[in-house]
Amino acid sequence: MAKKKKMDSRIKLLATMVLTVGVFFISNGLILGGLCLFILLLMMGARLKLTHMVKQLKVPVLMVVVMLFIQLLISPSLLAVVHMGVSLLRLMIVIGLFFVLIQTTTVSDVVLALDSFLRPARKMGLKTDGILLGCRVMMRFVPSLLTEAHKILKAQASRGLDIKEANLLMKMRLIMALLLPVFVQGIKGADGMANTMAVRGYVLHAPRTAYRRLKRQAS
């Protein structure tokens, strides 16, 4: 039985970035709908659960709905509704693309792929270590902040403030109340990581080697 080969993380990252940038130049609803269907097919091919993506879309979709409501109050017109609908489709496509990328690629592979893309710039004398460090920190802290947000939501629900049963105005208030503790937790985590890196003698632009490098795979 032939060994199943995994797609190179550089190809996945490049395709995700190209589609993410390209989707903002598309205004045709049919093409955007086709991209949504394409993402669903990707999820089916990767055997990903749709419910996980729906959870990721809850807050962004709620924010877009609130913006749509405010836009309708300011200038009620069909054109504004169509424009916000297109923006919602774009947001869903971008979240879907990164959801598939994150679920099918490890954080280390994403960073290695980004390092491979930035290697020519490093040879020209540009310092790219800060970009890679920022990506590592972001990928390390975003899941932690999401976990902290879920903990706060559960704590609010145990005190009778369940966001699932609240009306739209109450949901907006609960989300606003959620931002401050999550922001504080992020600052504390970043400060702790900075202290740890300083104790271990981490120097940003010092030359360093990699334990593993990506190699081109024969098709």
Among 57, 80, 105, the domain boundary falls at: 105
Residue 59 reports pLDDT greater than 70: no
| Residue 183 Cα to chain centre, angstroms | 17
pLDDT digits (tens, 9 = 90+) for 133-163: 777 777 777 777 777 777 777 777 777 766 6
Whether 189 is covered by a domain: the verdict is yes
- Is the pTM here over 0.85, yes or no? no
Whether 3 is covered by a domain: the verdict is no
User: 82 and 45 share a domain?
Assistant: yes
Between 3-17, 52-66, 88-102, the lowest mean confidence (pLDDT) is in 52-66
User: 38 and 98 share a domain?
Assistant: yes
User: Do 178 and 149 form a contact (C-beta atoms < 8 A)?
Assistant: yes
pLDDT digits (tens, 9 = 90+) for 25-44: 888 878 888 888 888 888 88
User: 129 and 184 share a domain?
Assistant: yes
User: 79 and 128 share a domain?
Assistant: no
| Residue 80 Cα to chain centre, angstroms | 27
- How many domains, the chain? 2
Query: What does the DSSP assignment read for 106-152?
Result: -HHHHHHHHHHHHHHHHHTT---HHHHHHHHHHHHHHHHHHHHHHHH
User: 89 and 153 share a domain?
Assistant: no
User: 24 and 82 share a domain?
Assistant: yes
- What are the φ and ψ backbone dihedral angles of 100, each rounded to 5 degrees? -65, -40
**How high is the pLDDT of residue 3?**
42
Give the whole-angstrom CA distance, residue 37 versus residue 89. 11
Give the whole-angstrom CA distance, residue 175 versus residue 177. 5
Q: Which domain holds residue 149?
A: 120-202
User: 85 and 147 share a domain?
Assistant: no
User: 15 and 91 share a domain?
Assistant: yes
User: 140 and 78 share a domain?
Assistant: no
| Residue 86 Cα to chain centre, angstroms | 20
Whether 74 is covered by a domain: the verdict is yes
